[in-house]
Chain A
Amino acid sequence: MDITFVLEKFILVAIIFGISLVIAMYSTYAERKVAAFLQDRLGPDRAGPAGMFQPLADGLKMFMKEEIIPTNSNKWLFMVGPGLAMLTACIGTAVIPWGSPIVFDGRIIPLQVTDINVGILYIFGVVSLGVYGVMIGGWASNNKYSLLSAIRAASQNISYEIAMGLSIIALLLVTGTMSLKEVVEQQHGWHWNVLYQPLGFIIFIVCSFAETNRAPFDLPECETELIGGYHTEYSSMKLGFYLFAEYINMFVSSAVMAALYFGGYNYPGMDWVLVHAGTVIAPLIGAGVFFAKIFAFIFFFMWVRWTIPRFRYDQLMHLGWKMLTPLAIANIIITGIVIALIEKF
C-alpha cells in the first residue's frame, strides 16, 4: 500500500464525513423552513441573515444543556445508545460513489471510499444495524415509555426491512451486479433504474421512510402516546445525537436512492461536458448533480412529513406485511418473467 493511496482515502473519508455532518446540520434548518413554507409561516429568521445561523445556535444550546443520566438506568448502555445511532448512520456513506473517477496527472482518483462487490448488501446490513442505537438507548433508560418505543422501532424496522430487501432483489435482477459503482455506471445515458423498476422504487422509498423513522412512520417517537419516544430520558447532546442521526440517515438513504434508482452522478450531456471541461472539473460537476438529486430527495422527505399525518400502529403493520411485501414479491416475479422473455426473443 503506497502512502498516497492511504492519504487519498483519508482525505476522501474526511470530506464525506464533514459534508454529511454539515448537510445533516442544515437539514434541521431546512426542515423548519420547509415546514414554515408549507404552513404559510416565516420559520426561523433571527440568527443571522434569514436565520442561517440557527443550526449553530441549536447545536450550542444542545452542548450547553445540563446532562442528566437517570439514577436507575444502565449508565454504560445509556451512553452507548446515541453513539451507536451516530455510528450506524455515518458508516453507510462508505460505499456510495459520489462521482466518476477524477483523472489528474495520469492518476485515477475514484470518488468512492471503497467499491466492495457486495456494496448493496453492505448498505442493507448497515440499515439493519440502525435499530440497535434506538433499542439499546430505549432499554437502558429504564422507562416504560422508552422501552415501548424501542420495541416499536425494532418491530417496525424488521417488518419494513423485508419489503425493502425484496425490492432490492428485483433491482439486482435488472442490474446483475451488487457493486454500487457498476450500478451507477450502467445508468449512463438515461438508463435510470427508476424507469425499469418504478414499482420497486416506490416500495423502496416507502420502506426507507419507515427505516429512517420519518413521518408518516415516526411511531417510535409518537408524542401523543409515548411522551417523547425512545429518547424521553435523554438530555443535552445525547438527545442531540439521536435527532442528528435521523438527519444523517435521511441524507444517506437519499444518496442511496439517488444512486440506485436515479442515475447517481449521471446527467444528460455529461459526455459533452467531459470533453470540454476536462477530467477534473467534469467529475466534480457530476458530484454536484448527485448532490442536487440528494437534496431533491431530502426535500421530498420533508414535504411528506409536513403533509401526511402519522399512521396508526396497526395500519403500519398492515401496510408493511399485507401490502408492500406481496407487492414486492409480485414485482420480483414480473421482473424475472420479463427478463427471461427478453433473453429468449
Chain B
Amino acid sequence: MGTSVFYIVAALSVFFSLMVIFSKNPVHSVLYLIVTFFTFTVHYILLNAQFLAVVNFIVYMGAIMVLFLFVLMLLNLNKDNEPLKSPLVKILGIIAGCCLIVTLIGSLKATALSNPLLLQNPNLGLIKNLGKELFGPFMLPFELSSILLLTAMVGAVLLTKKEKV
C-alpha cells in the first residue's frame, strides 16, 4: 500500500509543479505551488518524518507562500502589462533550459548507479530523535545556520531603514 500511495502522491506533485510553470496567471502559479508543497508534506509523512512534515506545512505553506501571494496580489501582474521580451532573451532562455536538462539527466544517471540509502533508524524523523540529533552531534552546524538566518534578518532590516542625514 505504501508504494502505491507514494506513486499517486508523486504523480500529483509532478502534475502540480508542471501547472506552476504552465499557468498564465502568476497568482494561479503560486496557488499551484502551495498545492505542490502540500504533496511534499504528504511525502514526508509517508517517510515517517512527522516533524519535517509539519514544519514544511507551517513554514512553506503557511508563511513563505503567503508572502509570495501577498506580493503578487499587490503587483497585480497581467498579460497586458508584461514587458515584451526580445528574441535574444528567448534564445538565452532556451540555452539555459537545455543546460538545466543536461545537468538534471546527468544527476539522475548518478543516482541510478548508487544503492538506495537505507535509514539505520526509521524513527529518526520523530521530533524527539531529531532534536537529540540536532542538539547532539550536529550542534555546531545547527547554531551556525541560526546565525546565518539572523544575519539575513539584520540585513533586511538595515536595507529598509532610511538613511539618517
Residues of A whose CB lies within 8 Å of any CB of B are 77, 116-118, 121-122, 124-125, 127-129, 131-132, 135-136, 139, 147, 150-151, 154-155, 157-158, 161, 178
B73 touches A125 (CB 8 A): no
Question: 27 A-B residue contacts at CB 8 Å?
Answer: A77-B31, A116-B50, A117-B50, A117-B128, A118-B50, A118-B127, A121-B51, A121-B54, A121-B58, A125-B62, A128-B57, A128-B58, A128-B61, A128-B62, A129-B57, A131-B66, A132-B66, A136-B31, A139-B73, A147-B73, A150-B73, A151-B70, A154-B66, A155-B70, A157-B66, A158-B66, A178-B127
Given contacts A121-B58, A125-B58, contact A151 B73 (CB under 8 A): yes
CA distance A151 to B66 in the complex (A): 10
The answer to whether A158 touches B63, judged by C-beta atoms less than 8 angstroms apart, is: yes
Q: Hey, which chain A residues are within 8 Å of B62, CB to CB?
A: 125, 127-129, 161
Tell me if A135 and B73 are in contact (CB < 8 A).
Answer: yes
B140 neighbours in A (Cβ, 8 Å)? none
Say whether chain A's binding surface is mostly helix, strand, loop, or mixed: helix
**In the bound complex, CA of A85 to CA of B54 (Å):** 20
A128 and B51 contacting across the interface, CB-CB below 8 Å: no
| Pairs A-B, 4 closest by C-beta atoms | A128-B62, A125-B57, A121-B54, A125-B58
Are B58's CB and A118's CB within 8 A? no
Closest-by-CB residue of A relative to B27 is A139
User: Shortest Cβ distance from B154 into chain A, in angstroms?
Assistant: 15
Mask of B66-93 contacts with A, CB within 8 angstroms, 1/0:
1101100110000000000000000000
A117 contact set on B, CB distance < 8 A = 50, 126-128
Task: Given A117-B128, A128-B57, A151-B70, output 13 extra A-B contacts at Cβ < 8 Å.
Answer: A118-B54, A121-B58, A124-B58, A125-B58, A127-B62, A128-B61, A128-B63, A129-B61, A132-B66, A135-B70, A139-B69, A151-B73, A178-B127
| Alpha-carbon separation in the docked complex, A135 to B72 (Å) | 12
CA distance A121 to B27 in the complex (A): 28
Closest to B65 in A: A132
